[in-house]
Structure 1
Amino acid sequence: MFQKILIANRGEIACRVIRTARRLGIATVAVFSEADAQALHVREADEAHPIGPAPAAQSYLRGDAILEVARRTGAQAIHPGYGFLSENADFADACAAAGIAFIGPGPAAIRAMGSKAESKRLMVAAGVPTVPGYHGAAQEEALLAAEAARIGFPVLIKASAGGGGKGMRPVLTAEAFAEELEGARREARSAFGDDRVLLEKYLQRPRHVEVQVFGDAQGRVVHLHTRDCSVQRRHQKVLEEAPAPGLPEALRERLHEAAIAAARAVGYVNAGTVEFIVEGDEAYFLEMNTRLQVEHPVTEAVTGLDLVEWQLRIAAGQAIPTAWPPPARGHAVEVRLYAEDPAQNFQPSAGRLDRLILPETARVDAGVAEGDAVTAFYDPMIAKIVGTGADRDAALAALEGALRRTAVDGPKTNLVFLRRLVAHPALRGAELDTGFIAAHAADLLGPPEPAPPAALARAAAPPAPGPSVWERRDSWRLQGEAERVALLDDAGVERRITLHASPRGTRFDDGTIPPGGIGTDAVLEGGTLWLLPALDPYRPAGDEASKESRLSAPIPGRVVRLLVTVGDAVKKGQLLAVLEAMKTEIRIAAPRDGVIEHLGCAEGDSIEEGTEVATLKA
């Protein structure tokens, strides 16, 4: 086994690898960008070293800088986590040349499966079923349009060089193909440095089902059961569970066999995931992720294995145990808590985590702690929360309870969305497909429920009085009734509360509460944790008209498209600009009809949060 390893990543996966290594008695080396100098993974590692500025291209994607740290510290192996360099065959080659073990598959397997087009050809040769489509090398726009027409609309454009939903665009009609192709290529070029695409038939209600596989250097490949990852937004997973529910056993066995055949076709070693789309009784190969997946905790929960530990053991030359695969026992469901705004098409958010309360009743994998910041440079995931149980209903009930005991104050989050999702009858009934969120948007994405009066009363109540009247902060009066006004932020809605205090008690708007309430913005009421920060009740009202005229960047980013010039007349909803930030394209549209009066940026500019993009006049 290794004595020291370097983790070439950040966030929760870096923390996870550090904790597993510590349990095995392995020393850890962390690397960090300027933005992550005080990050949790830096604080937890045995030693940590800087590798460059905040942008990933200048730090976490610098294989040369990471290898230099490994050489200098005597690390024998590098764990790439997921994202960044985890599926970079050139980096795996460089590790081998430096005599440092790459904890993952060999470069040949990464290259074969890293190209969606090449992987599809390999799967056809291996007898693994694939979706009808075009995977050719020719990339002329006219040829691609003709191939899309041959396949038949709707079609799906996908970046050939990557995953995670980047460069993926469904196209419903031939008229929309050229614009969506341009957008997919631009996104793929930015994310992967490669704008080649492939085309596939767009299935209408598919499930996204995957199989965890492991291979060892002795040539054995096994499966570790299925996961369902159908619940997605922007083609990125939000909820995952193991085993995948509701699959006929014959289909489940076919998926296991196809996954093993796919891994064997490329001589696969270490942890990997073979992904399928399933519609009815048919399953088609989607792609293979040549790394550990974000959702690996649900597989760990039902198998009792530490997958990171086995990555390390296999990279050190150990064989897969003959008893594998262990049976899947119970059920596990994971959700990803993100800093994002579901009401704004899940637009990423950034900011300091002024308060972060995570549940103690469930497994939580987090790469941040209270007081840390979610920055605009990286993925905005805050934590993964996993509910487990003897069966699916018990796992979902455990997860629902855990989410009720979670609270975040700072950036916008998807917490309310997750609570609704886990409790939704269609999810409880396993009515799963990749269009789940869109189909149930009215239930999942509406305004948050208002906090109940009891929670508002507790948050607005004054602190318990001290021993002296001079220490009281509850507007106490010697005679008469004291009035105290509180303004609370109730999930983005301002709630003005008036309290009337007298020796007889404190009157709230709809009743009486006892004196000496909780007087804090984190209140557990009715089994749910409500976060109700106090606002200044006497601040001046904002100018709503100006908000509709000046359009600014919601978070720092780069202007990848600017579609208007000064003097252009625009209609409500018309696309004005596209920003790229936190691995996401953010579209800025006109909130009303008007004329472009001023532009505060140019195409290609890197801009800060709040920077003017455009100003409208009537």
Structure 2
Amino acid sequence: MFKKLLIANRGEIARRINTVAKGMGIRTVAVYSDADAELPFVREADEAVRLGPAPARDSYLNIPALLEAAKATGAEAVHPGYGFVSESAEFASACHAAGITFVGPPPEAMLRMKDKSQARKLVSAAGVPVVPGTEDVLPDVEAARAAAERIGYPVLCKAAGGGGGIGMAAANSPAELEKVFRQCTDRAKAAFGREGVYIERYFPAPRHIEVQILGDHHGHLIHGLERECSIQRRHQKVVEEAPSPLFAEGRNAALADKLFTAALTAARAFGYANAGTVEFLYSDGDIFFIEMNARLQVEHPVTELTTGLDLIGWQLRIAAGERLTVKQEDVKRRGAALEFRIYAEDPVKFFPSPGPLKVYQPPTGEGVRLDSGYAEGNTVTPNYDPMIAKLIVSGATRAEAIERSIQALEGFRIEGIKTNIPLHLRILRDPVFRAGDLNTRFLEQHAKP
């Protein structure tokens, strides 16, 4: 096992990785920008190295600075968390070239997944069901129109190198397609440095289901069951849970088997190792592959709480060359868990609300876990994602987890900024949510202020 680990991230995920690593006897190195110098993750690590100014390009995305920090502190491995350089094959390759272990999948697997249109082609050839769409990126709007006519409207225009809902928009007609094609092309170039986009059939109100994957470098690959991530706003997840109500209590067993088989097949097609997530849409009684994420997911705690898997711990062991000793039959479901992303934002208008946390008193109680990036007195910066914390609540049943979640959210005191806690409470109290009848347009249709 590694003696020293550099954590190439910030906030709550940096703290979580730090806690797990220290529990395994690994010394930790934090890296930080000027905007984050006073945050808990910096002081909790054994060592801390300044990367640079607040902008991510000058700090958390600065590959030379990250490598220099690892070399200067003698870190043998780097855990990238999620976001920033977590899915950068360039960074993973640079780590390997420098003799530093990248805690994640092989760079070759990351490259296979990076271009989503090529990833679709690869898994489709392996027999995984994909959303009907174009095989390659589209050279111009005329090609997009022709493809849309074959697929049938509505269609979804997507950046081939995208992620996080960036460079994605739906079109219901040729006129709309022309507009969104140019819009997605411009956003893809600005966000990812390349213009390539493709289109696929747009399901107006699907469920978003994902499967946790865990594999070692010795050929052993398992899934960690599914999570439901259908509660979204502008393609960004807001609430996640495990199990999905679609599959809870043995429901739709044949479809669940198809889902898990498809996820493992996709992971093998990519040559995957370490922790990853295969994402699907569910519509009209069937599942369709949309992408695979080559990293730990924000919502991984709901899987940990319902399966007992220590995903970060296994990431580190696998990266160190150890064999995954968990067998598929060992992965059992127990209870239910929900995760709420607590954002610094107006809960009605959804405008960011950065500023000082004058009061920050997290809840406690049975089944409550908080992964937080801040403490009372810290300032939420506008430079990065506005997530303050993740509140994860578990119970013996989904109904119990929902009631515990309401109590926890009501007891979460934050003053000085606005948060989306009122939104989470509206969601939990909505009878449609409580019935488990979820889709990606839920927030448009329900839980209104």
State if a TM-score over 0.5 links the two structures: yes
Give the gaps of 5 or more residues in structure 2: none
SS at 2:78's partner residue? strand
Contact 1:275 1:288 in 2 (8 A): yes
SS at 1:342's partner residue? coil
4+ residue segments displaced more than 4 Å: none
Q: Structure 2 matches for 1:150-299, cutoff 5 A? A: 150-247=150-247, 248-299=252-303
Give the gaps of 5 or more residues in structure 1: 447-618
SS at 1:241's partner residue? strand
Task: Deviation per CA, 1:492-537: give whole Å up to 9, x if none.
Answer: xxxxxxxxxxxxxxxxxxxxxxxxxxxxxxxxxxxxxxxxxxxxxx
CA distance in 1, matches of 2:188, 2:375: 32
CA distance in 2, matches of 1:190, 1:3: 39
Match of 1:359 in 2: 363
Deviation at 1:322, TM superposition (A): 4.5
CA distance in 1, matches of 2:183, 2:39: 34
Contact 1:219 1:267 in 2 (8 A): no
Q: 1:232 to 1:409 in 2, by over 3 A?
A: same
SS at 1:84's partner residue? coil
Q: Structure 2 matches for 1:432-447, cutoff 5 A? A: 432-440=438-446, 444-446=447-449
Task: Pick the aligned partner of 1:379 from 363, 375, 385.
Answer: 385
CA distance in 2, matches of 1:244, 1:339: 27
What fraction of aligned residue pairs are identical, expressed as a percent?
50
Contact 1:215 1:222 in 2 (8 A): yes
CA distance in 2, matches of 1:445, 1:37: 38
Deviation at 1:71, TM superposition (A): 0.5
Task: Pick the aligned partner of 2:348 from 338, 343, 351.
Answer: 343
Contact 1:273 1:293 in 2 (8 A): yes
Deviation at 1:349, TM superposition (A): 2.1
Match of 2:97 in 1: 97
Query: Do structure 1's residue 329 and structure 2's residue 302 form an aligned pair?
Result: no
| Greater percentage in helix | 2
Match of 2:66 in 1: 66
Name the aligned partner's letter for residue 448 of structure 2: L
Q: How many residues align?
A: 442
Name the aligned partner's letter for residue 81 of structure 1: G
CA distance in 1, matches of 2:44, 2:295: 23
Name the aligned partner's letter for residue 51 of structure 1: L
Q: Structure 2 matches for 1:93-132, cutoff 5 A? A: 93-132=93-132
Query: Do structure 1's residue 304 and structure 2's residue 308 form an aligned pair?
Result: yes
CA distance in 1, matches of 2:182, 2:253: 42
Deviation at 1:172, TM superposition (A): 2.1
Name the aligned partner's letter for residue 326 of structure 1: V
Deviation at 1:341, TM superposition (A): 1.9
SS at 1:309's partner residue? helix
Match of 1:314 in 2: 318
Task: Pick the aligned partner of 1:424 from 430, 434, 439.
Answer: 430
Contact 2:347 2:421 in 1 (8 A): no
CA distance in 2, matches of 1:170, 1:347: 23
| Greater percentage in strand | 1
Larger radius of gyration: 1
Match of 1:479 in 2: none
Deviation at 1:137, TM superposition (A): 3.4
Task: Deviation per CA, 1:28-60: give whole Å up to 9, x if none.
Answer: 001111111112211211111111111111111
Name the aligned partner's letter for residue 301 of structure 1: L
Q: Give the TM-score taking structure 1 as reference length.
A: 0.70
CA distance in 1, matches of 2:136, 2:246: 35
Contact 1:229 1:241 in 2 (8 A): yes
SS at 2:348's partner residue? helix
SS at 2:83's partner residue? coil
Higher relative contact order, structure no. (Cα contacts within 8 Å, ≥ 6 residues apart)? 2
SS at 1:348's partner residue? coil
Match of 1:396 in 2: 402
Contact 2:138 2:198 in 1 (8 A): no
Match of 1:492 in 2: none
CA distance in 2, matches of 1:269, 1:100: 17
Name the aligned partner's letter for residue 341 of structure 1: D
Q: Give the TM-score taking structure 2 as reference length.
A: 0.96
